[in-house]
Amino acid sequence: MENLILTKKKVLQINEDTFILIFEEDPDFSPGQFVMMETPALVRKPFILGRWMGKTAISVKIRGKGTKYLVFEATQIRCHLPLGNPFVPPNERGMAIVSTASITMASMLNEIYGVEVLVGSRTPLVMKTPFETVVGDNAFEERIKKLDYEWYLISGSIEMEKKAWNILKKRKTEIFLALEEYMGCGIGACKSCAIQTKYGIKHVCTDGPIFRGDELCW
Ligand code: FES
């Protein structure tokens, strides 16, 4: 893990409340890994790392003061990265089903491994992306029912992940879930990210953030 400063190069709005932050620097990381970013109150926030327009990028959903600061005010951000374990997709044809808050991670998987991407958004996108997008819960659920892939990676809010999981779990496919929403410190110190799995307690920051669906107690 490295402590470094990331310099914001560009901010793009994706939908009503989510933005892509593109950075000048190009640190080393793999898809699935995340960064902890410091905000003025010294609260660290986790974001799954990714790429956009060939540069290091994260997606940030506005949730409060810290995320507003990162999107609208910060120019240079103190960061700790890369954290967590890389995700290496299976060889078969698979799909990343993501919310706009994970679109940069999905973009990196697409860039490196050719993984197909489906984006689910509650509100219409205000920018063009190269990925299929469905807007609204009903359209999202209907689209998920029609998918036919060998594996899926689902990354978004817990509600969105559970919706997709409940539809896809009945099939004989591999399902992976990204759980970065659970994290506090990101480095194994606070234990706030402990989850019960079928194989005992695991920590999202050090054992994840991506888990096989069949090991979770959902
Ligand atoms: S987030 Fe603190 S131990 Fe995992």
In a domain, 206, yes or no: no
Quickly count: other Cβ atoms within 10 Å of residue 197's Cβ.
16
Check pLDDT > 80 for residue 189.
Answer: yes
- Give the predicted TM-score (pTM) of the model: 0.95
Q: Is 184 in the pocket of ligand 1 (CB under 6 A)?
A: yes
Confidence at residue 44, expressed as pLDDT on a 0 to 100 scale? 87
Q: Is 213 in the pocket of ligand 1 (CB under 6 A)?
A: no
Measured between alpha carbons, how far is 91 from 28 in angstroms, rounded to an integer?
Answer: 23
pLDDT-above-90 percentage for the chain: 88
Mapped onto helix, strand or coil, the DSSP state of residue 109 is: helix
Q: Is 183 in the pocket of ligand 1 (CB under 6 A)?
A: yes
Confidence at residue 107, expressed as pLDDT on a 0 to 100 scale? 98
CA separation (Å) from 166 to 80, 134, 144? 34, 18, 10
Summarize the confidence of residues 161-170 as an average pLDDT.
Answer: 94
Closest CA to 54 of 74, 26, 19: 26
Q: Going by C-beta distance under 8 Å and a sequence separation of 6 or more, which residues neighbour residue 209?
A: 32, 34, 46, 48, 84, 85, 178, 179, 180, 183
What atom of ligand 1 comes closest to residue 46's alpha carbon?
1
Interval between CA 82 and ligand 1 midpoint (Å): 14
In a domain, 164, yes or no: no
Interval between CA 145 and ligand 1 midpoint (Å): 34
Q: Quick: pLDDT tens for 48-84.
A: 999 999 999 999 999 999 999 999 999 999 999 999 9
Summarize the confidence of residues 187-203 as an average pLDDT.
Answer: 93
In a domain, 194, yes or no: no
Whichever domain contains 19, its CATH number is: 2.40.30.10
Interval between CA 89 and ligand 1 midpoint (Å): 25
Interval between CA 194 and ligand 1 midpoint (Å): 7
Check pLDDT > 90 for residue 180.
Answer: no
Confidence at residue 90, expressed as pLDDT on a 0 to 100 scale? 95
Asked whether the beta carbons of 205 and 193 are under 8 A apart, the reply is yes
In a domain, 110, yes or no: no
In a domain, 75, yes or no: yes
Q: Using CB atoms within 10 A of its CB, is residue 147 exposed (0-12), middle (13-18) or buried (19+)?
A: middle
Measured between alpha carbons, how far is 84 from 163 in angstroms, rounded to an integer?
Answer: 25
In a domain, 10, yes or no: yes
In a domain, 145, yes or no: no
Measured between alpha carbons, how far is 65 from 44 in angstroms, rounded to an integer?
Answer: 12
Check pLDDT > 90 for residue 1.
Answer: no
CA dihedral 44, 161, 176, 156 (to 10 degrees): -40
At CA 67, angle to CA 212 and CA 165, rounded to 5? 25
Check pLDDT > 90 for residue 140.
Answer: yes
pLDDT-derived band at 181, boundaries 50, 70, 90: low
| Structure-model confidence comparison of residues 41 and 127, the more confident one | 127
In a domain, 113, yes or no: no
Q: Quick: pLDDT tens for 94-127.
A: 999 999 999 999 999 999 999 999 999 999 999 9
Closest CA to 81 of 54, 49, 103: 49
Q: Which domain covers residue 33, as residue numbers?
A: 2-83
Closest CA to 46 of 177, 178, 153, 182: 182
**Overall domain count for the chain:** 1
